[in-house]
Structure 1
C-alpha cells in the first residue's frame, strides 16, 4: 500500500500505518512546502516560535540560533508520564502530522516531512508517554517525545523492542532529524495524537457496530423470534435514517427466517428495539465520521503562512482540538450503549427463563460444567468499566499555562479513552458470538435464515464447543475477529 500526501487520509490509512507503509510527497505538494519555507525565511516581524518564546512566554525573545530554538521548544515539553502509548496510535499520529505539514501552510522544512515518511516505511516508532496533553495548543507533550525520538533522543521501538532512540534510528537505517525552531514547533503544535487515537477508535467501533447487527440477527433466528420488529413499514414510521439503514441490513441477514412460534408476542428491548438503538448509533457514528474527515485534511498548527499576494503570517488557534473532543465524548456514549446491548443480549442467551429452554449458562452439563459463566462475569466487568469511564472529558476544562490556555478541550484524553473502550466493546461482541456458538451445541434450533446459518457455520468451524470447561479468553478473541471480518 502506498499513500501520497497531503491526502486526504482515511481511517483505513491510519490503521495501515501500524505496519511499515510507503508514504510519498509528490512534486506539487513538495513545491508548496518549499514555497512556504522560503516565504518564512523572508518574513518580517515577530513570528511565534521562530523569534519568540513559547506559550505564556511569547512576550520574550527566543534563542539566537535555529538549533537552539528547536532545543528550547522540545526540551521543556519532556514532562510526560505513564506507560507508553500503543504503537499503532503513535504511528498513525506520525502520518496525521505529516499530512498536516504537507499542506504547505506551516513553513516547515521539506526534510521534516521526509523524515516522518521515512520512519513510517520502517518499524521505527517513538516511545511516547500516555499522560500530559490537554489537547489545546496541539498535543505538545506527546508529540515532543515523538520529535525527540526522530532526533535520536529518548527512546523508540524497532520491531516491537524498546531501545534508545539513537540505536533504533541506526538499526532502521534512518538519519537523526535536524530541526530549527519553526520545524520543532510545527511538529508539536497540532492535535495529531488526538486525531489518530480517535480515528483508530472510530474504525474499531464501526466494525463492532456491524458485528452487533450480525449477532442480533443470529440471536433472533436462534431463539425463533418473529422478525416483524424489522418491518420496513414500521421502521419508516420511526423516521430516523440510521434505524432505516440498520433494519435494512438486518432484514437482509434474516431473509428466509421462520419464527418458531414459541416466543412471546413482544421480545425484550435488547431484540425488539435493536434497530432503533443501533440506528441511533449509526447516526452518531456518521457525525463522528464528519469530524474526522475534516481533521484528516486540516492544517492543525500555529501560525499559518499564506505566501499569496499579501504575504500573511496569521496567528490563531487551529491547533485547538475541540471538534475531536466533542466527537470522542460522543463516541464514548455510543460505545457504552453498544456495550449495554451486547451484555444484555448475552444475559438473555444464558438465562433458561428467557432463552427458550436452553440450559443455564449454556453449560453442556450444568453443575458439572459451567459453560459461559466465566465469560459472562467478564462481560459484566467490561460493560461496567466502559460505563464508568463514559463521563465527557470535553467539559473538564482547567486553565493552565499562566491562563494563556484558559480553556482547553481535553480531546486527547477523550480519544485515548475511546480507543481503550473500543477494544473492550470488541471483546463483548466476541463473548456474545461465543455464546451463540455454544447455544447451538447445547440444543438451540438451527438458524433458518441462510445468512445466519452461514455465520454460525463459520463460528462452529473456528471455535470448539465448550465441553468440558476450558479457559475461553482466546476463544472470545477468535470469535470477535471472525465476526468483525464478516461482510
Structure 2
C-alpha cells in the first residue's frame, strides 16, 4: 500500500540525481515535484496538444514510428499510445532485478519532469505513486540496442504500470494487475505523447551504469583496504607507498591511493623478513588503483550528466515555440563510459585474484601453510574459494568485450548505427557483482591467515577492519562450506566502504 512520505527517503525533482539515489530506489521512496515543476510539465503537455490540433507534424504523434515515420499514425491519440507499446513489447531473456527496474523508472521520471517531453501530469503522478510502493514491473533483459532509447525494456515497464504483463510486489512475481492492486495503485492511462515519452529515453542504460558505478566506487575503496591488510599480515616493508615516490609519478589518483593506504597502515610493524621488492600485486597497487580511481571519476562525470539530462525525441520548448526532432535518445556517452567501467572493474578483479594467489602460496606468503589449511591434507582451507575465484576472473575477462562499438544496423536502416549502451551498462553491473564476490573471497583468506599464522594486523586501522571480519567469519577449522562466508565478508567490506564514502 502507499506509504506516508514521512516514513520514506524523499527526493525532490528536478534537483540533482546521483548514483546513490538510484540505490535508494530499490525500496519505497518519495519523489516530490514542486508547483513550478508541475506547471512546466502542464505547459509543455498543453503545447503538444495545441501543436497537434494545429496539424503540426510531430514524430510519434502524427506519424508512424521509426522507419514508418513517412506514414500517418493512428488518428486517435489514445489508440496511438496503445500502439506505441504493443509493437515494442517484444523483449526476452531473464527478468532484470527489481532494483534495476525501479532505478530505471526513477531516471525516466527525472527526465520527464524537466518539462520538455510533453507528458501529462498523470504520468508523473503514476511514477511517483509507484515508487512509494514495493511494485516493480517485470522487464526482460534483452531487447534494447540503446539507440532510440531503451524502447523495448521501457515498453514492458509501461505495460506493467497499465496492468498488462507481469510485475513484482516485494519478492513475489505475479500478473501486473494483481501487483497493482496489492500495491494500492491504479492502472496507468495513457494519451497523447505519453507512451512514446515513457519509452523514448536511455533510462535503463543510465540506471544500470549508475548502479554499477555506486558499487564499484565502494569496491575501489575495499581494494585499498584489502591491499593494506595483505601487506600488514605478510609483514611487508612499505617503501612502495612513499609519498615522494608517488608524488614523483605525477598521477594524482595514485598519490591519493598512497595516502589512503599509508593511513590504513599507520603503526604497522614490518617483519623485515620479506625481500627488497614485493610482487607487483602489492608494489604496484597504488599505480593500478590510482588509474582505476581516475577512470571512475571520468565515468561518474558522464553518468551524472546523463541522469540529469533529457533523453527523448522530439524535445519540446514551449517558450520558443520549438519542436526539436533529433537524437538525444542515442546512448553513446554512457556506452563508452560503461565499457571503461567494465575494463576498470576487471583489472581490479585481476588484482584481487592475484593477491589471493599470493596469500595461499607457501613459497610467497611468509611461511603460511599451503591454501591456508590448518592441517594441510586433512583440511583444505581456502582451496575451493581460490578455484571459484579463478573461474570468476575467467568469466569477467570473457565478458569484457566492449559493447559500445558493436554497431549493427536495424530498423530498416533507420537505426543504421547504434551504441548498445544498455548491454554495456548491464555488463558493467554484472562485473561489479563479481568484483564484490572476489573481494569477499580475498577477505576470507586474509581472515584465515590470521588464524593459521598467529599474526594479527599490527596497524590499528587494519586491525579494526579485521575485527569486523572475524565477527562474521569463523576460522576454517575444520573445513566447511564457504559460500556464505564469502558473501558475509563481502557485505562487511561493502558496509565499511559505505560508511567511509558517505
TM-score by length of 1: 0.99
Q: Distance in 2 between matches of 1:350 and 1:100?
A: 50
Task: Give how far 1:181 is off.
Answer: 4.1
Task: Give how far 1:445 is off.
Answer: 2.2
Q: Distance in 1 between matches of 2:60 and 2:495?
A: 46
Partner of 1:305, secondary structure, is: strand
Partner of 1:87: 98
**Contact kept in structure 2, 1:49 and 1:181, CA below 8 Å:** no
Partner of 2:289: 278
- Please list the CA deviations of residues 353-376 of structure 1 after superposition, one character each: whole Å capped at 9, or x if unmatched: 000000000001100000000000
**Contact kept in structure 1, 2:117 and 2:315, CA below 8 Å:** yes
Task: Give how far 1:101 is off.
Answer: 0.1
- Please list the CA deviations of residues 271-322 of structure 1 after superposition, one character each: whole Å capped at 9, or x if unmatched: 00000000000000000000111011110100011011x3000000000100
Which of 343, 346, 349 is 1:336 aligned to?
346
Partner of 2:494: 484
Partner of 1:442, secondary structure, is: helix
Partner of 2:392: 382
> How many aligned positions are there?
486
Partner of 1:211: 222
Q: Distance in 2 between matches of 1:195 and 1:249?
A: 30
Partner of 1:3, secondary structure, is: strand
Which of 13, 23, 29 is 1:15 aligned to?
23
- Please list the CA deviations of residues 364-409 of structure 1 after superposition, one character each: whole Å capped at 9, or x if unmatched: 1100000000000000011110011111001100000011100000
2:182 is the counterpart of 1:171: yes
Moved over 4 A (4+): none
Partner of 2:323, secondary structure, is: strand
Task: Give how far 1:6 is off.
Answer: 2.0
Which of 299, 304, 326 is 1:288 aligned to?
299
Partner of 2:368: 358
Task: Give how far 1:79 is off.
Answer: 1.0
**Contact kept in structure 1, 2:147 and 2:330, CA below 8 Å:** yes
**Contact kept in structure 1, 2:141 and 2:153, CA below 8 Å:** yes
Partner of 1:438: 448
2:36 is the counterpart of 1:6: no
Partner of 1:137: 148
Which runs of 5 or more residues in structure 2 are unaligned? 1-8
Partner of 1:267, secondary structure, is: coil
2:47 is the counterpart of 1:36: no
**Contact kept in structure 2, 1:210 and 1:484, CA below 8 Å:** no
Task: Give how far 1:444 is off.
Answer: 4.7
2:407 is the counterpart of 1:397: yes
Partner of 2:235: 224
Partner of 1:484, secondary structure, is: helix
Partner of 1:365, secondary structure, is: coil
Q: Distance in 1 between matches of 2:138 and 2:458?
A: 51
**Contact kept in structure 2, 1:215 and 1:433, CA below 8 Å:** yes
Q: Distance in 1 between matches of 2:423 and 2:466?
A: 38
Partner of 2:157, secondary structure, is: helix
**Contact kept in structure 1, 2:135 and 2:179, CA below 8 Å:** yes
**Contact kept in structure 2, 1:222 and 1:444, CA below 8 Å:** no
Partner of 2:337: 327
**Contact kept in structure 1, 2:49 and 2:192, CA below 8 Å:** no
Q: Distance in 1 between matches of 2:439 and 2:210?
A: 20
Partner of 1:122, secondary structure, is: coil
Q: Distance in 2 between matches of 1:320 and 1:108?
A: 20
Task: Give how far 1:244 is off.
Answer: 1.2
Q: Distance in 1 between matches of 2:114 and 2:191?
A: 19
**Contact kept in structure 2, 1:73 and 1:181, CA below 8 Å:** no
Partner of 1:408: 418
**Contact kept in structure 1, 2:14 and 2:33, CA below 8 Å:** yes
**185-194 or 251-260, which moves further after superposition?**
251-260
Partner of 2:6: none
TM-score by length of 2: 0.96
Partner of 2:244, secondary structure, is: helix
Q: Distance in 1 between matches of 2:191 and 2:327?
A: 22
Task: Give how far 1:17 is off.
Answer: 0.3
Partner of 1:62: 73
CA RMSD of aligned residues (A): 0.8
Task: Give how far 1:458 is off.
Answer: 1.4
- Please list the CA deviations of residues 419-462 of structure 1 after superposition, one character each: whole Å capped at 9, or x if unmatched: 11111100000000000000000015221211011111111121
- Please list the CA deviations of residues 134-157 of structure 1 after superposition, one character each: whole Å capped at 9, or x if unmatched: 000000000000001111111111
Q: Distance in 1 between matches of 2:74 and 2:31?
A: 34
**Contact kept in structure 1, 2:314 and 2:324, CA below 8 Å:** yes
Partner of 2:491, secondary structure, is: helix
Partner of 1:263: 274
Q: Distance in 1 between matches of 2:488 and 2:343?
A: 26
**Contact kept in structure 2, 1:223 and 1:444, CA below 8 Å:** no
Partner of 1:108: 119
- Please list the CA deviations of residues 29-59 of structure 1 after superposition, one character each: whole Å capped at 9, or x if unmatched: 1111011111111114100011111001011
**Contact kept in structure 2, 1:358 and 1:444, CA below 8 Å:** no
Q: Distance in 2 between matches of 1:277 and 1:159?
A: 40
